[in-house]
Amino acid sequence: MRDTVQHGSTRDAILDATDHLLSRYGYKKMTIDDLAAEVGIGKGTVYLYFPSKEEIVLSHIDRIIERLKARLWAIVHKDLPPDEKIRRMMVERVVYRFDSVQHYTQSLNEMLAKVRAKLLDRRTRYFLEEAQIFAKVLEDGNAEGVFGVSNAIDTAETLLYATNSLLPYSLSVKELGDRKTIAKRTAAIAEVCLSGLMARNDKVNK
Amino acid sequence: MRDTVQHGSTRDAILDATDHLLSRYGYKKMTIDDLAAEVGIGKGTVYLYFPSKEEIVLSHIDRIIERLKARLWAIVHKDLPPDEKIRRMMVERVVYRFDSVQHYTQSLNEMLAKVRAKLLDRRTRYFLEEAQIFAKVLEDGNAEGVFGVSNAIDTAETLLYATNSLLPYSLSVKELGDRKTIAKRTAAIAEVCLSGLMARNDKVNK
């Protein structure tokens, strides 16, 4: 367990187990012993990787965001018009988060409440990193004459704020239940925003 | 205290006292005794109007929404172009809620957690009532040829979802602290959406 590959895979295995156990037990009932047993390692080994249950859960959320960013970049690198990229990215940022937590929605609010303070700092970073990916596509769209966006990073943040209310932590379990409705609502917001961003509407960014 | 006017004023006085005491003590520490003392009535009189602290707080929130709706209608009845009305209404729905709770933001999440289940049903109703006011302006704008909106109520809901992430219950106390930033972010979302709704952009609602 000393070389990098092993290190990576044990760490990932602990985070995979976290995902399963959040679904099976919820945050409160999940223990480090449970996690160690699920991975098939000793409790001490878990502590080699993470100092606390709180840090495990935060790293689990970090991993969801890293994977989301990879999916957003994959859309950026597709051969599609920039407006279609933005449309897909807006839906992806909502639906991917939904899919990542939907098997433990019952314990989601409890978990988020426990890590709230540390999570808020991270969210600021997540948000900025996401905005940078969106800004790249807005700039590409400007260069192609598709968008008429004067400040790409500000506009990127606006697009994120416009869809933030559909993210899992903003919704109740009941509201979270319906993936199709959430995707549809996000697409509707994307549609209105994109119409506003298209360069030939001369009202944009004046 | 039997006639309607008195009834209304005692009820309002209890809700005013609720607002003060949420700020002074927070939800958890506020008691019916405190409320009665603040209004200058007996504890039994408070129970003539409200069965529980939970119901008092829900009625307090209802009153905020009723007042917000009155403010939105006041914008509707102004002599302004429909796009300027929508712009002002989007900012008003966020900033009025902010102003209504900003003196007790520290206890806001605690309070909302306590009344969560009943509040969620109410929110669905609040949301629909707000959407109907926005839909009225979108229809007026269609008639004037300013907007090209095919389904006014759906589009109204989209405008509300696009700004919901800036409402107090979606934000942390820290994020809620800055009224100017919240108003600016809302205005930026309104700007992008309105550009999208203007009828001469032929991409809208196709």
Question: Cα angle at A149 between A146 and A154, to 5 degrees?
Answer: 140
Q: B188 vs A120: CB contact, 8 Å cut-off? A: no
Lowest average pLDDT, out of A76-90, A180-194, B170-184, goes to: B170-184
Higher pLDDT, B2 or A87: A87
Domains annotated on chain A, with CATH: 1-50 (1.10.10.60), 52-197 (1.10.357.10)
Cβ <8 Å between B120 and A172: yes
Joined together, the tokens standing for residue A124 give 């600021």
Is the pLDDT score of B90 beyond 80? yes
pLDDT for the residue numbered A174 = 65
Closest-CA distance, A201 to chain B, in angstroms, reads 6
For residue A111, name the pLDDT band (cuts at 50, 70, 90).
Answer: confident
CB atoms A158 and B189 under 8 Å: yes
More confident residue, B68 or B3: B68
- Looking at the partner chain, which of B189, B197, B203 has a beta carbon nearest the beta carbon of A198? B203
Contact B162 A159 (CB under 8 A): no
Weakest mean pLDDT among A76-80, A162-166, B61-65, B172-176: B172-176
How many CA atoms lie within 13 Å of B57's alpha carbon, on the beta-carbon side? 26
Higher-scoring residue by pLDDT: B37, B195: B37
- Quick check: A164 and B170 CB within 8 A? yes
pLDDT at A2: 43
Phi, psi of B198 (to 5 degrees): -65, 135
pLDDT (average), residues B171-189: 82
- Give the mean model confidence (pLDDT) for residues B160-172: 85
pLDDT exceeds cutoff 80 at B72: yes
Residues of chain B found within 8 Å of residue A172, distances taken between Cβ atoms: 116, 120
Tokens representing B117 are 């289940």
Q: What is the pLDDT of residue B100?
A: 92
Tell me the pLDDT tens digit for each residue of A36-66. 999 999 999 999 999 999 999 999 999 999 9
The segment with the largest mean pLDDT, out of A97-111, B130-144, B191-205, is B130-144
> What residue of A is the nearest CA neighbor of B158?
A189
Nearest neighbour of A164 by CB, restricted to B154, B155, B165: B165
Give the pLDDT band of residue B206 (cuts 50, 70, 90). very low
The pLDDT, as a whole number, for residue A121 is 85
What is the pLDDT at residue A117? 80
* pLDDT at B103 exceeding the cut of 90: no
Spatial distance between the Cα atoms of B47 and B132, rounded to a whole number of angstroms: 34
Whether ipTM exceeds 0.90: no
pLDDT for the residue A88 = 96
- What pLDDT is stored for residue A7 in this prediction? 61
Structure tokens at B69: 């709706």
- Residue-level pLDDT at A6: 58
Residue B147 carries which DSSP code? B
Q: What is the pLDDT of residues B121-162, one digit of tens each?
A: 898 899 999 999 999 999 999 999 999 898 999 999 999 999
B124: tokens are: 């669905």
* Res A201: pLDDT: 42
CA nearest B154 in A: which residue? A188
Q: Is the pLDDT of residue B20 over 90?
A: yes
Distance CA A157, CA A105 (A): 26
* Residue pLDDT, tens place only, A154-179: 999 999 999 998 988 777 666 666 88
Amino acid A204: pLDDT: 42
- Whole-angstrom distance, CA of residue A167 vs CA of residue B69: 26
Residue % of chain A over a pLDDT of 70: 89
Q: What are phi and psi of A166, to 5 degrees?
A: -95, 0
